[in-house]
Structure 1
Amino acid sequence: MSVLAPTADRMAAMADRSSWLWSLWGVVAIGLAYGLVYTSMRLAISHNLPQDDVTANILAQTLEPGYVVRQPPLHEWLLWSVQRLTGPTLLSFLIIKYGLLTATFAFLYLVGKRVFADLRWAAMGALSPLFLYQIGWNLHEGVTHTMALICAVAASMWAFMRIAERGGIGDYLLFGLIAGIGLLSKYSFAGYLFVLLASALLQPSLRARVLDWRMLASIAAGGVIASPFLYWLVAGRHDLVALYGEAVAPKTSSRLTARAIGLGKAIYAPLAFLFPLDVILPVLFPGMLRTGREAVRQGVDPRSFDRGKADWPLLVFHITLGGFLVLILGALSTGATHYLERYMHPFLPFFLLTPLWLLVLVERSGNA
């Protein structure tokens, strides 16, 4: 009995099935399956709500422009909407959490298609948050408002890429719409927007898009989306500066000591937040370290910023670098000492895209 070699049609069909795994729909399918598995496991174990979710469940019984000063209301708004169908149950929280996670995978894939030369790397980049402890593990019992922030960061990066590529008024409105939603997820999204746009100004091709008059349409759209909560803040005379001071207040009486501790944690905490991915990749692909040194050297050399078109890996590097600078300046100016990796969720926007840059180094190093 002879073994027949695969026909060209069969091989093509196998290739099509394999390529589907690296497509947008493949990534979405993985996200949905992942969420379904964990939702089933969680409901099988217990229907009890975690402590933070109990508070949110009470607040979401009514639809309000704002609830508590500490958090913008997007999560409660989503919860109120979903609970019109599910009731005030654990299932409503799980639907939102894993729905937003799947959407994050999708937006990161769309970003990755522009960052990577190979769609397989785009798919791996889309799923890279699962290799960060605070998301891949802590997500399942914590991370409420932060999940909306994660999705907004990925979506806004994709929308900004559309502005750079197409530049139509609709693209600017879409970016503003997503930015407004992001501002309703967590306050730190405003810092991410600033770093994103400031980083884009370093590249001439992106600078022209940022300084285009149509960016006013983005600002208007974002303002409209965020206006109910902004009105609630102003009408209630809530002090966000005092809130920030309480959140990152120095844990020592010495201002100099506080700045020294804060500076150390500002450098350490992002690296810990990226754990274990930032350890796994260099161990498996040591060649990325050499590629990384060259990428960093070019990333801080202004002569390399003008390449005639948008350099997306360079933009992601500058966003990451900007995140470090924000934390360092915060430590030096306020003496903030409360930068711990488990409290890095408010600063997550600066580093959510960093795994994409790390994977670019692996791709370029030829170790894959």
Structure 2
Amino acid sequence: MLDWILEKRYRFAAVLLAYFGLHVIVRVCISGSLDFDESEQAFLSQWFSLGYNSQPPLYTWMQTAMFHVFGYGVMPLALLKNVLLALTYLCVFGTVHKATGNAAMALVASLAMMTIPQISWESHRDLSHTVAVTFAVSLLVYCVVSLRHQPHWKWYVAIGLTCGFGLLSKYNFAIVIVAVAAAAISVPSYRRWLLDRRLILSVVVAAVLVAPHTYWAIDHLQLASSKTISTLTTEQTDSWSSNVSHGAYALVTSTLACCLLTLAIFLVAFRDSLKSILLQWKSNRDATDPTTLLIERFFLIVGLALMMLVLSGNALEFKNRWIQPFACLFPAYLMLRVGRYAYLDRVAMNRVCISAVTLMAVVLVAIVARPMFSQKRNRFIWLNIPYPQFAQTIQDEVGSTPAIIITPHMHSAGNLKLQFPHSLVISMDQRHLVDSESLLKILARGNQQVVVASDACSPNANDQLSEFAIEIVGQPTDRLVWQSRRYRYLYGDESATTTLGFAQMEHSIDPIAAIYDPLSASDRIGALPPQSATR
């Protein structure tokens, strides 16, 4: 398989195009509803802002541009993500190829990223910002390696652009910048170019790109940092030793979750030449390739930074996706460490290649099976909720497209925005994004339908939603037209149903209250509905 791909220069690109193109097609066909990160992007795309929440805004800006080009739909969401993933694979290929001049080693290093579960599976399941920052890491290392081989000013500009891209994708990219810079300074053949005065170009370009959002983040510091801090410090106790042990365990397990399968596949694949490889490492330590040292020291510095967070006692939680941007270079590092035995042991390289391609097929099948077999797994997911049918019900009952839709949470808001692209969709849990001036302009037009749509997770939640609707629209809620419908979950049988509801006012801008039904989507999500729900 390896030789077949390398036989023609275009075949590797064709393999990536086919694989990620299939992911786009599958995602469009499998469900018209959105998962969590997807719905967040659809909802946030209603505004252009220097910041939205605890994540930087670049991914939302890119997604908004995709919606403007292709219109609202599942396809632009899937397309952006898969383009970024494909570019990540190409960057890793380019890095290893520039370092070794060997296309076979570069191909295996790139395809081996399929052995990292967080990249091969979770990125397709439901990630956004993490996908962008993973691409930024691979691109930054590619630019630094390219600078060593071609010390031209354009690579300094490219490094600045990449740093800006990364910082506007996820805040933890700052660790990547520090780690790459420190690692490069420690390697003589990289140091001379990193300390060149042209590096000022990189700093200026990156500073110009991130300055507007930095100003917003400082002005909204609590909003920008609250989620990250709360996630890191969850289950924090008064005992420093307990916090450290908890954080160290989380860091180690997340790292192993990202890297263990990759390491196991390489060990099995190169089992015949493993002894020779180990002897080579021991006898040629001083002759190690500079790029190998660069990536190795990058890992060491990142690990040290994360351990310092753990030792502070303030970091108790490390999610697998937080390790993904650092782990994306792990297959490239292993390939570089294997060294000349990579191209001498062609059988081993084919084993890695075949494993990666097999995992491609497995992931595609799993992506399809996940929503289709939710009922058999006794666990429905967001993709099973029939939001397109629910939106059609609202359209039919209201008689026109609502001007304003009020929802309890961002997930419902994003799904309904996808179905009603010309409506202003407001989420109660993101009230800081409500633009009062735009809202008043809509209401001032007269005869504008306002709808509150809810999956009615609890009576208390619906009461809060009603109060929120009153606050937003500024009218009493005593004239309501209640509607509720029971829908069968997508890919579920007749026993698998959920109730979604909405309410409207006959005369334009009077506010609407939500519906409570004990058989709501929030109650049902994650568990198979009881058989009694069919009646």
Name the TM-score class by shorter chain.
0.7 to 0.9
Determine the structure 2 residue equivalent to 1:40.
25
Once the two structures are superposed, the pairs formed by residues 304-323 of structure 1 within 5 Å of their partners are 304=286, 311-323=290-302
Matched, 1:361 2:348: no
Greater mean alpha carbon deviation, residues 42-51 or residues 259-268: 259-268
**Aligned equivalents of 1:186, 1:322: Cα separation in 2:** 19
**Aligned equivalents of 2:311, 2:225: Cα separation in 1:** 17
SS at match of 1:355: helix
Identity %: 24
- Contact 1:195–1:322 under 8 Å retained in 2: yes
**Aligned equivalents of 1:344, 1:140: Cα separation in 2:** 14
Determine the structure 2 residue equivalent to 1:77.
61
Determine the structure 2 residue equivalent to 1:134.
118
**Aligned equivalents of 1:251, 1:326: Cα separation in 2:** 21
More helix by share: 1
Matched, 1:246 2:230: yes
SS at match of 2:174: helix
Q: How far did 1:364 drift?
A: 3.7
The Cα offsets for residues 221-265 of structure 1, whole Å up to 9 and x where unpaired, read as 011111221121123344766554322115242211111222233
Matched, 1:336 2:306: no
SS at match of 1:72: coil
**Aligned equivalents of 2:172, 2:81: Cα separation in 1:** 19
**Aligned equivalents of 1:211, 1:351: Cα separation in 2:** 27
Q: How far did 1:271 drift?
A: 2.1
1:64 to 34, 49, 53: 49
Matched, 1:55 2:40: yes
Determine the structure 1 residue equivalent to 2:277.
291
**Aligned equivalents of 1:363, 1:35: Cα separation in 2:** 30
* CA separation of 1:242 and 1:63: change in aligned 2, threshold 3 A: closer
Amino acid at match of 2:121: W
What is the root-mean-square deviation of aligned Cα atoms in Å?
2.6
Higher relative contact order (CA 8 A, sep 6+): 1
Determine the structure 2 residue equivalent to 1:170.
154
Once the two structures are superposed, the pairs formed by residues 21-32 of structure 1 within 5 Å of their partners are 21=8, 23=9, 25-32=10-17
SS at match of 1:274: helix
Matched, 1:279 2:255: no
Q: How far did 1:42 drift?
A: 2.1
Greater mean alpha carbon deviation, residues 350-359 or residues 163-172: 163-172
Amino acid at match of 1:271: L
* CA separation of 1:230 and 1:293: change in aligned 2, threshold 3 A: farther
Q: How far did 1:114 drift?
A: 2.2
Determine the structure 1 residue equivalent to 2:175.
191
- Contact 2:96–2:332 under 8 Å retained in 1: yes
SS at match of 2:33: coil
Determine the structure 2 residue equivalent to 1:346.
322
Determine the structure 2 residue equivalent to 1:4.
none
- Contact 1:282–1:289 under 8 Å retained in 2: no
User: Is there any run of 5+ residues in structure 1 with no aligned partner, and where?
Assistant: 1-14
**Aligned equivalents of 1:292, 1:191: Cα separation in 2:** 31
Determine the structure 1 residue equivalent to 2:252.
267
* CA separation of 1:47 and 1:192: change in aligned 2, threshold 3 A: same
**Aligned equivalents of 1:118, 1:209: Cα separation in 2:** 24
| TM-score under structure 1 length normalisation | 0.84
- Contact 2:251–2:317 under 8 Å retained in 1: no
Q: How far did 1:359 drift?
A: 2.0
More strand by share: 2
- Contact 2:105–2:335 under 8 Å retained in 1: yes
SS at match of 2:43: helix
Determine the structure 2 residue equivalent to 1:326.
305
* CA separation of 1:17 and 1:248: change in aligned 2, threshold 3 A: closer
Amino acid at match of 2:321: H
Determine the structure 1 residue equivalent to 2:108.
124
Q: How far did 1:335 drift?
A: 4.1
Greater mean alpha carbon deviation, residues 108-117 or residues 197-206: 108-117
* CA separation of 1:140 and 1:17: change in aligned 2, threshold 3 A: closer
**Aligned equivalents of 2:221, 2:283: Cα separation in 1:** 46
- Contact 1:188–1:347 under 8 Å retained in 2: no
Determine the structure 2 residue equivalent to 1:11.
none
The Cα offsets for residues 95-140 of structure 1, whole Å up to 9 and x where unpaired, read as 1011111111221111010233521120121222211111111222
Once the two structures are superposed, the pairs formed by residues 100-111 of structure 1 within 5 Å of their partners are 100-111=84-95
**Aligned equivalents of 1:164, 1:183: Cα separation in 2:** 23
Matched, 1:148 2:127: no
User: Is there any run of 5+ residues in structure 2 with no aligned partner, and where?
Assistant: 349-535
SS at match of 1:66: coil
